[in-house]
Amino acid sequence: MTVPDCLPGFEPLAGPVRPGVVLGVIGHDIHVVANRILEIGLSETGMRPYNLGTSNTIDDFVDAAAETGARAVLVSSLNGEGEVACAGAGDRFDAAGLGHVLRYAGGNLVVGSRPTAEVERVFLGYGFHRVFHQSVSFAPVFAALRADLLQAADG
């Protein structure tokens, strides 16, 4: 079963150029399984993933987006280091002339247990466009990314 099979009514992105998406794990986090699943899912939903793997900084994501021409970046964390490691992310992308690149954060983004709305507020303040804190499914990520990429292409 592929990712599109799990999403009723989902249409993979089609066209001669598949949008590039940089993904990876932020901080001193070595949790790689979900990152690999995301990579496979991105490919199956019509995107071109560039997987940085684990133990990255925000500057690694900025550099990769610049080098690849990616239209989106997915930053993940499982051990909660995201809150510290992602601070100022939007400013870093803006400074590199990449303010147009969509920025998503997901996983267990903070240490301890905090309300999702609070975590979302923090990461939106850091310059992320969407936040998926402790999400149990990748389906909303793929659906939102598809919609955001299509909207960006139209606008």
Q: Which of 5, 28, 29, 60 is catalytic?
A: 29
Indicate the pTM of the whole model. Answer: 0.90
pLDDT, tens digit, 9 for 90 and up, residues 12-67: 656 656 899 999 999 998 888 999 999 999 999 899 999 999 999 999 999 999 99
CA–chain centroid gap for 53, Å, is 13
Structure tokens given for 121? 């507020």
Residues 113-134, mean pLDDT to the nearest whole number:
96
> Please, are residues 63 and 113 in contact by the beta-carbon 8 Å criterion?
no
Among 138, 134, 123, CA closest to 21: 138
Residue 31 annotated to the active site: yes
Q: Is 12 in contact with 45 (CB distance < 8 Å)?
A: yes
Domain boundaries, the chain: 47-58+89-102+135-155
Catalytic residue among 28, 31, 91, 94: 31
- Could you report the per-residue pLDDT of 56-106, keeping only the tens digit for each? 999 999 999 999 999 999 999 999 999 999 999 999 999 999 999 999 999
Q: Specify the pLDDT at position 69.
A: 97
Catalytic (active site) residue 148 = no
DSSP 102: E
